[in-house]
Structure formats: C-alpha cells, structure tokens
Amino acid sequence: MADEFTVTCTISFSKGTGNSLITDKASKTNARFDQTGDGQAGGIQNIGIAAEAIDVGDVTSPLNGSWGFFHNTDDTNFVQIGIDVNGAGFEEFSKLEPGQFALLPLDIVATGVLQAKADTAAVELYYKIWEA
C-alpha cells in the first residue's frame, strides 16, 4: 500500500490596517507520503527543565522518515524539541511557544534520542509519532 499519510496545511498572515495592511497565505492540500512500518506512539508527557527523552514506544529506531506532531499545551512557557546523538548533549531543532504546534518530518539517526526540554517550569507536551 502507498500514500498512507495525507497532510493538508494552510497558513494565513495579516498585519496592519488600511493602506499598510499586509496579507499572505500559503497552502498545500493532500500531500501524500508512504509509511513502511506501522508503529506509533504518543500522548501527553510532562517535560521538565532538563532535556529528557520523549517516549517513542514501539516506533523503531532510526526515526529517519517518521513524522512527529508536537503541541505545547502550556499557557506560559516554551518547550524545545531536539535530539541527543551519541550522548553528546541536547541539540534543539524546534522551539514551541505557549500554545504552538508543529508537524515535522523527523530525521533522527539510529544513535539519536528524541528529546524535549521546558523553559522555566515543566510543561505538558502533547505529541504523536508515526513510524516511517
């Protein structure tokens, strides 16, 4: 089977008023991607201020080609999403401000660990990982 993932995205921008109004819009509908595995993981994880592994459950490593959806449910603090490769330390690749969310294709090598790190207080991170 092919094209198991269907992604639709629309984003609109509007700033200013009257003659200084700037607007823009971008969209992509029904982009389709294949999935060879069938593993998935997700839920709500309490993320503290020290980098910690995101529980990817039965999603096999590497996560190269997998998809990740992340939603920072906190009202005050941001959360960073990143990776630790070979124990070298946390490297952020995305920062979600309070209430922000993102759908990202993941490119994590076999020796990498998907991690998250909160700002000044723990946050509840809703996430979903789908195996490539």
DSSP letters for 54-115: ---TTPPSP-TT-EEEEEE--SS--EEEEEEETT--EEEEEEE-TT-EEEEE----TTEEEE
Instruction: Check whether 64 has a pLDDT greater than 80.
Output: no
**Is 62 a residue whose pLDDT tops 60?**
no
Domain count for the chain, please give it. Answer: 1
Q: Are 132 and 61 in contact (CB under 8 A)?
A: no
Res. 29 pLDDT band, cuts 50 70 90:
confident
* Residues pairing with 26 in the sheet: 11
Asked, for residue 18, whether it belongs to a domain, the answer is no
Structural domain includes residue 24: no
Report the alpha-carbon distance of residue 54 to residue 57 in Å, rounded.
9
CATH code of residue 102: 2.60.120.40
- Whole-model pTM? 0.86
pLDDT, one tens digit per residue, over 68-122 is 999 999 999 999 999 998 889 999 999 999 999 999 988 887 778 899 999 999 9
User: Residue 32 gets which letter from DSSP?
Assistant: E
